Structure 1
């Protein structure tokens, strides 16, 4: 559904590219593909795991704002930025945005349990 194309120098920003031909977009929505919210949360989680090099389990979505829909056709490439990371024993709190040069798509604040 997506691939990581590049990382920022500080390792907290992943530049990703969506695959508009992925099967998920055939159902969500035909002719006007939009990245599902659950897939956005999964992408954030996978990138957080790569950053901290630990497996995570979603504990709580404190705040999640879908500011603009992410279309793999109109916005095939975006940046997932983890602006704040707080790790406390077995808990990880992250805060960040998904955006491109022109638009913010998603703002998030999520808590994970470290496995």
Structure 2
């Protein structure tokens, strides 16, 4: 986990070839002291990292981002309002890389769309 105590996994399952993970964000994490004071926002790079970490848990191997050619940040994730996040994605795994396509959602809708390629390390 890149940021200790930033989130916890509430549930994780596979359904119709899709990985679905329910995360609970720690709204009191020290990250929010600097991003931003009095108006906390979850950084986009952290949202991207959540997909990497979840995929690593599923396959039991470490990954390194190789290419992220299509990332769209759709809405702000304010931890005071959105302390639950849902990752929905599917991935293709070959012997050298993972191709992942997914969305991160709050209770209000989609926050992030991602297409990424990770190298197995």
Give the number of aligned pairs.
Answer: 114
Superposition RMSD in Å: 1.4
The separation in 2 between residues aligned to 1:96 and 1:87, in whole angstroms, is 15
- Offset from partner CA, 1:54-103 (integer Å, 9 cap, x none): 11111011211110011111111010111x21112201100000013431
Greater than 4 Å deviation, 4+ residue runs = none
Corresponding residue for residue 3 of structure 1: 8
The separation in 2 between residues aligned to 1:53 and 1:13, in whole angstroms, is 17
The separation in 2 between residues aligned to 1:38 and 1:44, in whole angstroms, is 10
Report the TM-score when normalising by structure 2. Answer: 0.87
The separation in 1 between residues aligned to 2:23 and 2:47, in whole angstroms, is 12
| Matched residue SS, 2:52 | helix
Corresponding residue for residue 3 of structure 2: none
- For structure 1, the 5+ residue unaligned runs are none
Counterparts of 1:1-115 in structure 2 under 5 Å? 1-10=6-15, 12-82=19-89, 84-115=90-121
Q: Which moved more, 1:5-14 or 1:29-38?
A: 5-14
The separation in 1 between residues aligned to 2:98 and 2:91, in whole angstroms, is 7
Report the TM-score when normalising by structure 1. Answer: 0.92
| Matched residue SS, 1:73 | coil
- For structure 2, the 5+ residue unaligned runs are 1-5
